[in-house]
């Protein structure tokens, strides 16, 4: 649980710092709300991530199939889903208050909730792909490494595994960040009527955040 908590604390803090800064609200402290949402998301994600191992140890499930599912196959989708969940929670004010949209010249034409929703969903998807792949692909590679007996000393497996994980993470970072453009585009038909009434532009852009 502690390691899960540390991991999700880091990713949540990164999301908080690199989100879109448009949302404003007078009736509450937006930063305090995001911190509270972040703490809730961190705690929930850490519990979900630790639950399979806790369940396995609690009921002494030692069969090879359970070991394969819980230790090898389950972590990847869990990390992907919980990472996307923390993004959606921390940046939920962008759903509620919207983010700025600009024309092709960079002039702000309004604040759109639909653009905020699109930005958050794109970021959450890219984060799920990043961490889901980072925790899945090394397990596949290590399986072939062990089967081919490239590493004969069992003590060397841990450093090799760490090297593989870091290599996959380094390779997936640019892939994740480039899945969607930093300056996202939204169609005129997808914007709110109050924004469309103030401009004749057909192309609109927004800052997606990271």
pLDDT for residue 29: 66
pLDDT for residue 106: 86
Mean pLDDT in consecutive groups of 10 residues from the start of the chain, 210 residues? 90 88 63 84 90 75 73 84 93 88 89 92 94 89 80 78 89 89 89 86 88
SS3 state of residue 182: coil
What is the domain extent for residue 84? 1-207
Locate tokens 């057909």: which residue?
202
pLDDT for residue 42: 92
pLDDT for residue 17: 86
Domain count, the chain: 1
Listed in sequence order, the residues at least 6 apart from 200 whose beta carbon sits closer than 8 Å to its beta carbon are none
Beta bridge partners of residue 111, listed in sequence order? 100
SS percent in the chain: helix, strand, coil, step 5: 70, 10, 25
């Amino acid at each position: 649980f502690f390691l899960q908590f540390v991991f999700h604390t880091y990713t949540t803090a990164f999301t908080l710092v690199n989100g879109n800064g448009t949302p404003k609200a007078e009736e509450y402290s937006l930063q305090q709300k995001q911190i509270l949402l972040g703490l809730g998301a961190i705690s929930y994600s850490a519990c979900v991530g630790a639950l399979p191992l806790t369940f396995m140890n609690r009921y002494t499930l030692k069969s090879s199939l359970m070991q394969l599912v819980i230790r090898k196959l389950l972590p990847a989708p869990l990390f992907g889903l919980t990472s996307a969940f923390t993004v959606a929670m921390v940046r939920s004010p962008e759903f509620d208050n919207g983010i700025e949209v600009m024309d092709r010249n960079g002039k702000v034409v309004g604040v759109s909730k639909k653009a905020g929703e699109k930005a958050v969903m794109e970021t959450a998807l890219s984060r799920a792909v990043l961490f889901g792949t980072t925790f899945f692909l090394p397990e596949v590679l290590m399986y072939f490494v062990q089967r081919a007996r490239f590493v004969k000393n069992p003590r060397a497996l841990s450093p090799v595994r760490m090297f593989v994980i870091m290599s996959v993470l380094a390779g997936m970072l640019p892939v994740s960040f480039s899945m969607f453009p930093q300056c996202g585009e939204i169609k005129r038909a997808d914007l709110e009527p109050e924004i469309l009434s103030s401009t004749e532009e057909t192309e609109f852009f927004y800052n997606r955040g990271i």
